[in-house]
Amino acid sequence: MNPSIDPTDGATRDALARSPKVLLHEHLDGGLRTSTLLELLRERGQAAPASDAAALGRWFDERAHSGSLERYLEGFSLTVPAMADPHALHRVAFEAAEDALADGVVLAEFRIAPLLFEAFGLDGDTAVEAMVSGLRRSGLPSGLIVCAMRQEDEAQTRRAADLALRWSGRGVVGFDLAGPERGFDPSRHARALALVREAGLPITLHAGEADAGERVLQAARLGARRIGHGVRLAELLDGPRRSAVLAEVLQRDLHLEVCPTSNLHTAAVAAIAEHPIAGLWQAGVSLSVNTDNRLMSRVTLGNEFHTVLAHTPLGPVDLLAMTLEAARHSFLAAPERERARDAVWAHAQRTGATGALAALLRERGLPGPPAGRPPAA
């Protein structure tokens, strides 16, 4: 617990809301507005577990805090069918970008498995086109990551990879393996991952969330530049292999997309105060704070920033440095990454944090302020 942060302090929340943020890990089918989901369910004639948006929010909240991954995942059986329409996908993507923009996000990447909609009569290309157009309608610089489901066979993963490559440079910025981790070794999909990697499309893989920390290294060796979650890497850093593991992580410049509240809800950690984010960051690992599923976990990125400050030893300057790292590791084009970095430095200058931020980055061997911006407040 950070005694200098009052979780009920409105001024702290306001300051965090104004802080520029970079979002790298959010699932579109886990981030709908409750009001939108209710409307989409009604449009498609699907039964809703609640009669109004507030009650539907409570339904998701109960599952998030149930301590059961299975109950947490029940929500996706509602959202995926409700979204299986081009208009709905366009709307959900647009609203996700607009909600992020309102939360102070200056650059974002959203992800989803488009082939999930085939079961409802919607082909992957149509689904991607609808979501890309929805993201572009917003003023937020953003991109789409295509996920394959790791429990599927290699042929299906290859189809998802081909889909991602067809849309590479047209709104799709990366490729991912999502789905249940334990029991579904990512090396089963090595050929599809090699195809994506050799084509130059960046890869981020879910790893080290529900399975051992060794999966993080395995994902990196399969070509992942970023890792979704990756929190169990901390187990390796607490063991006799610490030096070798840390050296490999740093040599690869691997970045973890950490989602603290989701990690609690899916039982990856027992409590936020026990979350390894601080230990990983203090060890020198590059990472950022993310939402994962705003609807399922009932969070915003601003909430997650506040949670980290309130329940870990990390401070506001750490969050600014993490945001710079998120921008540096984003799969979006260089000009968009640079504008996001500029926004963080401008905020640091306004709040008198420039000197402390520059010092922390020097300590970690990371890039400092852009040319022309002073290293002190």
**Tokens 């992800």 belong to which residue?**
111
List strand residue ranges (DSSP E) for the chain, in order.
Answer: 21-23, 105-112, 142-149, 172-178, 204-207, 226-229, 255-258, 286-289
CB 289 within 8 A of CB 278: no
**Would you state the torsion angle of the CA atoms of residues 164, 166, 171, 176, taken in this order, to the nearest 10 degrees?**
10
Separation CA 149–CA 122 (nearest Å): 17
Catalytic residue list: 209
Separation CA 283–CA 163 (nearest Å): 38
CB 109 within 8 A of CB 131: no
CB 106 within 8 A of CB 323: no
Cβ–Cβ contacts within 10 Å for residue 248, how many?
16
Instruction: Name 130's Cβ contacts closer than 8 Å, sequence gap at least 6.
Output: 86, 87, 89, 90, 93
CA distance readout (Å), 151 to 148, 178, 234, 265, 315: 9, 9, 25, 21, 38
Q: Give the H/E segment covering residue 159.
A: helix 154-166
CB 300 within 8 A of CB 17: no
**Would you state the torsion angle of the CA atoms of residues 209, 215, 221, 227, taken in this order, to the nearest 10 degrees?**
10
**Tokens 């970079």 belong to which residue?**
22
Handedness of CA 58, 59, 61, 65 (dihedral sign): positive
